[in-house]
Structure 1
């Protein structure tokens, strides 16, 4: 659909924005439409939304856990406005003929050369994006106005909404801009939209470190005889400092067991001795090596190490013309355009250094500071006080989310009056609704989207388990399809988390 390049000056030109729509499967019972955003900024709903509709429509209508999703598919159109700048509309690309050299993960590699490379790359990023005349208009504010154009064009009296991760940031801006048009709004695993980008990123890094402590550090310290990694958490954590840079790059942010760390330490020794070892040779050595005296532990270490091996061999960074795809370009612009970016290069380099020192188990994704060279923001953030007029907003958060931690939800709850928070206890999913087998989660959220009915109070907790796959009675008419569709929906994520393609 055609929308103004700048909604504040609609006569200045038109760009195209993609629109995806899946109609209600039972038109005779249609209620309205639910608008959807999968996160990012930069995730496209073009493939995700049809998968979401199929997944919901696959459920048994009378199932106590998943039945509400079937009723949603029957009674609501699902609509997604493709964020401006992504393929499907007028693409926004940050490109330059000037050569730039990428940098290695800035937490794993603290060498002066890598710090200098990051600084040069941040300057190149800002310059390449600012060379595109669309750059001031790629921001959350303009996307919100695109959503409003779509709502009006489709004749929807209210904008019901389901947004994941950055989708919560986007939804809150819509609610503050057009509170009178907000219907039922669910913000799942959201960024803290009352804070700034760097606050959200820092919390994400702390959550990643906490995940290492919970899954690796404390279990290893509590069973020194089995793992031999250290008798207390600081001792186990210190072992990360022994790893070679390629191994820290490969494992950083992905830690999930003491076996991970044992395998990483062994591989690190091998690569120091033979830095030019090929992936094939490394994999064969992993298969042949005895990592641990206990058979089950040995198998777990070896299998994990083999899964990680390919990440030890990233493409060599060579000087080349600067080229970002639409996803990276959009993220770069939205991050800088949405609000003022405080601090100079020295401030942000010191901030990165502090995070790398205090949170060694995390990775450097999201720690970019190209906004220092941006020249200022280009969006007008609506007053958050206006969100109160939008009515009830339901936030959903996993208690152990390592990407957008629960603190985001509790902070918003404490600083607003219209929000409600559902906490899925005991799981670390990023993206909750649709991904558990808990009626307390699935039916509560589904019922709210269907009817607007919420439980009493503002904060409630549900014991939750991640959704099982392939069971004959798991709530879906085609369980095998549900497995595939859930995998396709795993793109619901944050810009400061490892992406699906990064996963070992």
Structure 2
């Protein structure tokens, strides 16, 4: 569930039954893949890339085909190699071609262990509609891009204005040069693409490591193709409905649960001048938001301030940047600009295609106005933004029913989850765990942030459990509760 971060503030994301398309990739034929150098924007010299042809519409497998860009970090130990580990970093709207290289980058505190690299060819791919895989567009304007994903309405009139903007964006998506792809950029179809990748690689099964939105993608894959699923790891989990209307509203809950971690950090570092107690830091948040709403600074209004604060709660590493931004805004110092965010039109467009194409969203503007008023009171940090209207309210109805995650299939799913995750709160993870039944075990960590395994996560309990599962297949007999890592 990664968001596109504010370019100003951040320094450094007719219905078809499932049975009619389940297993359609069995009709395909394997062919030798041609591995070559990756595109120039894939900054990892150890990766090699190829493309896999897949149907745009799996109901018509012989119809229009699109290319899915795939990357590979090969195992260098044939004696230990088990198979392939497909990966997804989250989104929707995020590319995954570079992700294997990111996972093993030694710049991170906890890169993917060598024992896992030896067992698998680590596979990345840009999901359909994203990056190098038939990218879609909604012809976003710079003004629309600047609003990003969490515009904060101050009153019912703002919701009405946001509805007009959202309807315009939905019309742009439906009339763009890629509009013919709009019904087919969905999680279920991306899962089917994954099985075509498996087939093209000549593998009987795939293992999988998915984070954030990638947990829903993995859950859908192992539901559609349970017999082809080997070891499935889902990190920072959405509920069984995926990134639907409920999940979006839960961002408000996630921020409320996570914010106290930052408030403690800021209070313990008085050099930032944000308060000497967590309560004072929280008060400073509302003071700055109100001040910026009346008088924006360097183009930063209250809505952008709230959204950027939410973004930088995803990791503890972001706390120092966030505190410095608050300090600059509070004292009138300049806020250094962030580097360009790549292709925001494609990221935002493909994100919308998945969010709106996976499930139906409410369409009543008055209903959103009521929700905004309720969430502003219940979750004052960012609740009004999480409950606000968006383009999905004006999207064509999905052509396929949502995939129902259930307990049919092998017991080969390991879920990992921080207790205070702003982007995918614990409530959704618990619902997914219940839906999986005995198929899954869940490991929770008593800490905050988005991402419990590897990279920034230094929780030995979580990391060892996941690595053991990926390398040996041994999974806990019951759910596990891990204490916070030292210093958390």
| TM, length-normalised to structure 1 | 0.71
1:423 positional shift? 1.1
Deviations 1:5-59 (A, max 9, x none): 1011112211111111111122332111101011001111122222224449x99
Gaps of 5+ in 2: 1-51, 314-318
1:95 positional shift? 2.5
Alignment of 1:133-212 (within 5 A): 133-194=180-241, 197-212=244-259
Per the alignment, residue 291 of structure 2 pairs with: 243
Counting matched residue pairs gives 412
1:244 positional shift? 2.9
Residue 394 of structure 2 corresponds to residue 373 of structure 1: yes
Following the alignment from structure 2 to structure 1, what is the Cα–Cα distance between the partners of residues 194 and 278? 53
Assess if the C-alpha contact under 8 Å between 1:404 and 1:430 holds in 2.
no
Following the alignment from structure 2 to structure 1, what is the Cα–Cα distance between the partners of residues 239 and 289? 32
Assess if the C-alpha contact under 8 Å between 2:371 and 2:387 holds in 1.
no
Assess if the C-alpha contact under 8 Å between 2:93 and 2:346 holds in 1.
yes
Per the alignment, residue 479 of structure 2 pairs with: 458
Per the alignment, residue 122 of structure 2 pairs with: 78
1:102 positional shift? 6.6
Deviations 1:170-196 (A, max 9, x none): 011111111111110000012112466
1:159 positional shift? 1.4
Deviations 1:280-313 (A, max 9, x none): xx42xxxxxxxxxxxxxxxxxxxxxx5x5759xx
Q: Using a 3 Å threshold, how does the CA distance of structure 1 residues 466 and 37 change in structure 2: closer, same or farther?
A: farther
Assess if the C-alpha contact under 8 Å between 1:106 and 1:115 holds in 2.
no
Following the alignment from structure 1 to structure 2, what is the Cα–Cα distance between the partners of residues 85 and 366? 26
Per the alignment, residue 422 of structure 2 pairs with: 402
Alignment of 1:376-455 (within 5 A): 376-385=397-406, 387-417=407-437, 418-455=439-476
Alignment of 1:8-47 (within 5 A): 8-47=59-98
Deviations 1:129-159 (A, max 9, x none): 1221110111111111111111111111111
Q: Using a 3 Å threshold, how does the CA distance of structure 1 residues 77 and 465 change in structure 2: closer, same or farther?
A: farther
Q: Which moved more, 1:444-453 or 1:396-405?
A: 396-405
Assess if the C-alpha contact under 8 Å between 2:289 and 2:306 holds in 1.
no
Per the alignment, residue 164 of structure 2 pairs with: 120
Larger Rg: 1
Q: Using a 3 Å threshold, how does the CA distance of structure 1 residues 383 and 437 change in structure 2: closer, same or farther?
A: closer
Following the alignment from structure 1 to structure 2, what is the Cα–Cα distance between the partners of residues 455 and 382? 27
3-state SS of paired residue (1:372): helix
Q: Using a 3 Å threshold, how does the CA distance of structure 1 residues 462 and 89 change in structure 2: closer, same or farther?
A: same
Assess if the C-alpha contact under 8 Å between 1:49 and 1:78 holds in 2.
yes
Residue 350 of structure 2 corresponds to residue 330 of structure 1: yes
1:459 positional shift? 3.3
| TM, length-normalised to structure 2 | 0.73
Following the alignment from structure 2 to structure 1, what is the Cα–Cα distance between the partners of residues 217 and 444? 21
Per the alignment, residue 290 of structure 1 pairs with: none
1:258 positional shift? 13
Following the alignment from structure 1 to structure 2, what is the Cα–Cα distance between the partners of residues 413 and 101? 35
Per the alignment, residue 361 of structure 1 pairs with: 381
State the Cα RMSD in Å. 4.0
Per the alignment, residue 320 of structure 1 pairs with: none
3-state SS of paired residue (2:79): helix
Following the alignment from structure 2 to structure 1, what is the Cα–Cα distance between the partners of residues 75 and 242? 36
The partner residue of 1:90 within 118, 129, 134 is 134
Assess if the C-alpha contact under 8 Å between 1:400 and 1:428 holds in 2.
yes
Q: Using a 3 Å threshold, how does the CA distance of structure 1 residues 264 and 160 change in structure 2: closer, same or farther?
A: closer
Q: Using a 3 Å threshold, how does the CA distance of structure 1 residues 258 and 248 change in structure 2: closer, same or farther?
A: farther
Deviations 1:59-93 (A, max 9, x none): 9xxxxx98x81111122101123200112122211
Q: Using a 3 Å threshold, how does the CA distance of structure 1 residues 359 and 107 change in structure 2: closer, same or farther?
A: farther
Following the alignment from structure 2 to structure 1, what is the Cα–Cα distance between the partners of residues 144 and 476? 54
Q: Which moved more, 1:205-214 or 1:391-400?
A: 205-214
Following the alignment from structure 1 to structure 2, what is the Cα–Cα distance between the partners of residues 69 and 101? 37
Following the alignment from structure 2 to structure 1, what is the Cα–Cα distance between the partners of residues 285 and 118? 50
Q: Using a 3 Å threshold, how does the CA distance of structure 1 residues 116 and 368 change in structure 2: closer, same or farther?
A: closer
Following the alignment from structure 1 to structure 2, what is the Cα–Cα distance between the partners of residues 101 and 70? 40
Following the alignment from structure 1 to structure 2, what is the Cα–Cα distance between the partners of residues 100 and 235? 30
1:343 positional shift? 3.8
Assess if the C-alpha contact under 8 Å between 2:170 and 2:394 holds in 1.
yes
1:348 positional shift? 2.1
Per the alignment, residue 45 of structure 2 pairs with: none
Assess if the C-alpha contact under 8 Å between 1:86 and 1:327 holds in 2.
yes
Q: Using a 3 Å threshold, how does the CA distance of structure 1 residues 218 and 183 change in structure 2: closer, same or farther?
A: closer
Assess if the C-alpha contact under 8 Å between 2:135 and 2:350 holds in 1.
no
1:361 positional shift? 2.1
3-state SS of paired residue (1:133): helix
Q: Which moved more, 1:86-95 or 1:257-266?
A: 257-266
